[in-house]
Amino acid sequence: MNKFLQEFHERGYFYQCTDNNGLSRTLEDKKIKAYIGFDCTAESLHVGSLLQIMCLRLLQKHGHQPIVLLGGGTTRIGDPSGKDKTRQILEEKTIENNIKNIEKILKIFLKTKNKNTSPIFVNNYDWLKNLNYISFLRDIGKHFTINKMLNFDSVKLRLEREQSLSYMEFNYMILQAYDFLELNKKYDCILQIGGSDQWGNIVNGVDLIKRHSSNETFGLTTPLITLASGAKMGKTESGAIWLDKKLLSTYDYWQFWRNVDDKDLTKFLKIFTEISLDEIEKRKNDNINDLKILLANHATSMLHGEEEAKKCYDQAKKIFSDKSSDDGLPKIKVKKNEMKNKNLSDLIISAKLETSKSEIKRLIKNNGIKVNNIKIEEDSPISQINLNEKNYFKLSIGKKKHFKIEFN
């Protein structure tokens, strides 16, 4: 098996391939261009997209050139795959801002110095916006049958549940297939990689290219990564684990990886770091907390840099040592007049540290909330909290979430 595919399998990236042997032979013969598409429905990606980013990095490592498709066109429609209802249609300005921000994030992860492996960024709105409807139906639509389209999970599940599926969404799979055709013509791109929920859309693209030009192309999918708890990767009880530090502090990102379930640890070291597989195997019996710190440091370094990862590690050591320091804690700034006559629970919810008062009540009952390192017994008015001379107090939620609440 080709070295790229071998590592793809061994790291746990592999789910399905349209022709595993054919792709392996092609990769042995030449360096290729491969693409992954990203929807631009939010201003940032979260860790649920990180496996796809690791695939792009693996392509570069093995000398191949990744194409990053930012779905400026398809985001205007919405992918029905894995969705129970129609996505909210975003304004064009919002989509453009999302594209710019997501591209910045992806450029942090991808190497750009080698022209042969430097990523190519494309926006499918550039070719979708000028399509002539009649010509498109005649030249592209003729290759798709309603019978086949109705059997794709993204369509079938919605219909079985008697949930509406708009004609606009129904066309999404045709547009994604057309993207692959366009990239094949313009860049000689022969591989599309995506999540397992994209299998039908990817196969459509491979089939369309074969019918349209007889070129050989391939599709490769990755598994849906879930946490040991069964939750989807990328979301926690506290919200999404964003890759943009404006939306999630570097320290909270580091803590996400530091606090993964023991059962997920080895899998995540293989998937979300570039530590060699031999090294991971050698260290599998090391102290579990040392391995979690290793994961947190590597994952954080990749996004925020080694220096920031070290700061997070040092801060965590301070917080959990007997001589706990408030320096470097994530800061939350609060306007004093807005918190007048409010309780601590109101502040916690307004800062999006928890989502419900019932959960806060449960935490208080179980000694899970501290103010200035002292457990609180009831949800008290903020006016009763003692601020230090710098006009802030330390808030701890559970054992691992600590914040400086600053008033201005």
R_g (Cα) of the chain, nearest Å: 24
Confidence of residue 325 (pLDDT cuts 50, 70, 90): low
Interval 48-86: pLDDT, tens: 999 999 999 999 999 999 999 999 988 887 655 555 455
Count of all residues that appear for the chain in the document:
408
Architecture of domain 249-320: Orthogonal Bundle (1.10)
Map tokens 């985001």 to a residue.
75
Q: Residue 193's closest CA among 18, 1, 384? A: 18
pLDDT, position 238: 59
**Other CB atoms within 10 Å distance of the CB of residue 89:** 12
- Looking at every residue in the chain, the average pLDDT score rounds to 88
CB 220 within 8 A of CB 7: no
331-407 maps to which CATH number? Answer: 3.10.290.10
Which fold would CATH assign to domain 3-222? Rossmann fold (3.40.50)
Q: Where are the beta strands (DSSP E) in 128-277?
A: 189-195, 218-222, 235-236, 239-240
pLDDT digits (tens, 9 = 90+) for 177-193: 999 999 999 999 999 99
**Who's near 174: CB < 8 A, 6+ residues apart?**
140, 141, 144, 204
The whole-angstrom separation of Cα 253 and Cα 241 is 7
Domain boundaries, the chain: 3-222, 249-320, 331-407
Look up tokens 């008290």; give the residue. Answer: 380
What is the spatial distance between Cα 20 and Cα 123, in angstroms, rounded to a whole number? Answer: 28
Q: What is the DSSP string of 265-276?
A: HHHHHHHH----
Contacts of 244 (CB under 8 A, 6+ apart): 43, 44, 45, 101, 105
Secondary structure (DSSP) of 225-246: PB-TTSPBTTEETTEE-BSSTT
Residue 199's nearest CA partner among 217, 219, 182 is 219
pLDDT digits (tens, 9 = 90+) for 369-382: 988 878 888 888 88
Q: Are 81 and 198 in contact (CB under 8 A)?
A: yes
146 or 9, greater pLDDT: 9
Task: Identify whether the C-beta of residue 195 lies closer than 8 Å to the C-beta of residue 222.
Answer: yes
Rounded Cα distance, 151 and 154, in Å: 9
The identity of residue 324, as a single letter, is: S
> Apex CA 333: angle with CA 331 and CA 338, to 5°?
155
Distance CA 375, CA 369 (A): 6
At 185-216, the pLDDT tens digits run: 999 999 999 999 899 899 999 999 999 888 99
pTM over 0.85: no
Cα–Cα distance list, 248 to 44, 351, 352 (Å): 10, 12, 11
Q: How many other β-carbons are positioned within 10 Å of the β-carbon of residue 383?
A: 11
**The tokens 């979300």 sit on which residue?**
272
Compute the C-alpha angle 270/232/253, nearest 5°.
Answer: 65
Q: What is the DSSP string of 347-366?
A: HHHHTTS-S-HHHHHHHHHT
Confidence of residue 40 (pLDDT cuts 50, 70, 90): very high
